[in-house]
Amino acid sequence: MVSGLEARPVCVVAQAGEFLADYTAWLWGSGATAIRIEKNVSRMADAFGLEAAVALLPRHVELAIGNGCPGERTVIIRKMASCGISFDINTRLSRLSWEIADRKIGFRQACQRFEIIKKTKPTAWWETLLLASLANASFCRLFGGDAVAMAVVFAATLAGFYLKQIMLRNHADVRVSFFCCAFFSAAISVGAEIFKWGDTPDIAIATSVLYLIPGEPYINAASDLIDRHYLCAFGRFCDACVLTAALSAGLATALLLLGIDLF
């Protein structure tokens, strides 16, 4: 275990730095807030008997690590891991940091555990699809939609979210994906207005694209802003705004092409 060594040669510092830099990139990519990343990395660095400072950029992370000797620092830069927002990976990585801080596992065990976490499989696509559709139908009810509107929103979300899974699986641009999915879901929900299904077709149309709202980036941007990570907050907020604009454009295009005027 690194923290058990009284003498910490450059190779040990470099190994710990590589581990912490990769850890930071994955935690950043899985959707953690800046303050959580700083705390997790700091507690692990303290357990290793090292000093670490993290600089977070919209697409990269920079880690400076040293053994306490003045002027001796190793700087490591990593690209943000493209693992997508994952609460499962986020939780597992945070648990790993506490196990290291509490001296329950050593450095080698931590590296092995980290490799296992990186291979964490996402929730089954059909389970995510079903739960997202049910959740969006519930939002429709929350905003006053009737049973027919809920059924329409469920079908629209099911089709749109499945399209999103297909497009992202084939590495389509996320902004294009959001536009296409919003257009697809809105076009389906517009049927409630055209064929006069139920008493609240307007609510069905309005809530059919709520599953695309990037809530996580908005929340993280607010958290980073409070903690004075202004660059991170601005980057996340811009990403969220771009995605919101893409889904809004998809919704507006569907309404325009199908001749629906709700305003």
Q: What per-residue confidence (pLDDT) applies to 70?
A: 66
Q: What per-residue confidence (pLDDT) applies to 5?
A: 39
Angle 147-169/174-194 helices, nearest 10 degrees?
Answer: 160
pLDDT > 70: percent of the chain: 94
The candidate with the shortest Cα–Cα distance to 210, out of 155, 246, 247, 176, is: 247
With contact defined as beta carbons under 8 Å apart, do 65 and 20 qualify?
yes
pLDDT surpassing 60 at residue 202: yes
The Cα–Cα gap between 75 and 61 comes to 10
Q: H helices of the chain, where?
A: 10-29, 34-47, 87-101, 107-118, 125-142, 147-169, 174-194, 201-207, 215-226, 230-257
Q: What per-residue confidence (pLDDT) applies to 3?
A: 44
Rounded to two decimals, the pTM is: 0.85
Q: What are the tens digits of pLDDT across the range 126-163?
A: 999 999 999 999 999 999 999 999 999 999 999 999 99
The candidate with the shortest Cα–Cα distance to 54, out of 21, 87, 27, 9, is: 21
Number of Cβ atoms within 10 Å of the Cβ of 95: 13
Q: What per-residue confidence (pLDDT) applies to 89?
A: 94
Distance of CA 41 to the CA centre of its chain: 19
Backbone angles phi, psi at 141, to 5 degrees: -65, -40
Beta-strand relationship, 51-56 and 74-79: unpaired
pLDDT > 90: percent of the chain: 78
pLDDT surpassing 60 at residue 4: no
pLDDT band at 7 (very low <50, low <70, confident <90, very high): very low
* Token digits of residue 237: 């907020």
The Cα–Cα gap between 133 and 129 comes to 6
pLDDT band at 262 (very low <50, low <70, confident <90, very high): low
pLDDT surpassing 90 at residue 115: yes
pLDDT band at 222 (very low <50, low <70, confident <90, very high): very high
The Cα–Cα gap between 12 and 235 comes to 34
Q: What per-residue confidence (pLDDT) applies to 85?
A: 86
Q: What are the tens digits of pLDDT across the range 35-89?
A: 999 999 999 999 998 999 999 988 899 999 988 676 678 899 999 988 888 889 9
pLDDT surpassing 50 at residue 234: yes
Q: What per-residue confidence (pLDDT) applies to 73?
A: 81
Q: What per-residue confidence (pLDDT) applies to 45?
A: 93
